[in-house]
Amino acid sequence: MYTYSIPGFAEPVSSISHLLSAGLFAVLGVLLLRRGQGSMTRLVVLAVFVVSCVFLLSMSGVYHLLAPGGAGHTVLQRLDHAGIFVLIAGSFTPVHGILFTGWGRWGVLLLIWTLATTGITLKVIFFDSIPEWLGLTLYLSLGWIGLASGITLWRRYGGALVRPLVFSGLSYTVGGVLEFLRMPILIPGVIGPHELLHISVLAGIGFHFRFLFGMLNRTAPRGA
């Protein structure tokens, strides 16, 4: 779908929405870290999530700001896609780093970050060779590994706490599917499936923040 540009922004909705949201979630991240004080482990794993959010949104915002064709656009395109893996792994980090112990904490995080690093490597090196459907499958498969974690947390803490986490996963999934199907086009040249993907990513991050704030209200600080 052709996208109307404005001076300085090749894809205005995609770029502006993610650049502004990078600032917003950075501020919310500071509040989240303040709420997590009392344990170095909590602060570190929460910081990993906040940095992963700001990294993805910043890379995405700048990438969609640039017109295609230049070296900067090519580099940022790869960083944008790599940032998706960073965000997925970063989203797992505070959940397992705070709510789980033993293998359920560090074993799962080691697995997730290993898979994410592998995905980043494949995406960066073989970017032009990986079909879109395979890239989407990699993202969603890595993200939905968290289903088992969600079921465990639902049983342990109840639906009121875990529901935002479910909505977060669904938001990312719906956005990815709409992007793959190339539909719908709400405003031709302005808002289509790619812009809806960007909005769904923001919704997914927002729901995850909501879950983390609720999680911190329910759990006492624990040491490293």
Q: Which token pair is 168? A: 């977060």
Identify the three-state secondary structure at position 187: strand
- The answer to whether 194 is annotated as binding is yes
- The answer to whether 64 is annotated as binding is yes
Peptide bond just before 184 cis, omega within 30 deg: yes
Q: Which class for 33: exposed (0-12), middle (13-18), buried (19 or more C-beta within 10 A)?
A: middle
Phi and psi angles of residue 195, each rounded to the nearest 5 degrees, phi first = -65, -35
- The answer to whether 73 is annotated as binding is no
* Residue 117 parent element (H or E): helix 108-125
C-alpha–C-alpha distance, residues 208 and 201, integer Å: 11
CA dihedral of 37, 143, 59, 198, whole degrees rounded to 10 = -110
Contact between 83 and 59 under an 8 Å Cβ cutoff? The reply is yes
Strand partners, 6: 9
Annotated binding site: 64, 194, 198
Annotation: binding site for Zn(2+):
64, 194, 198
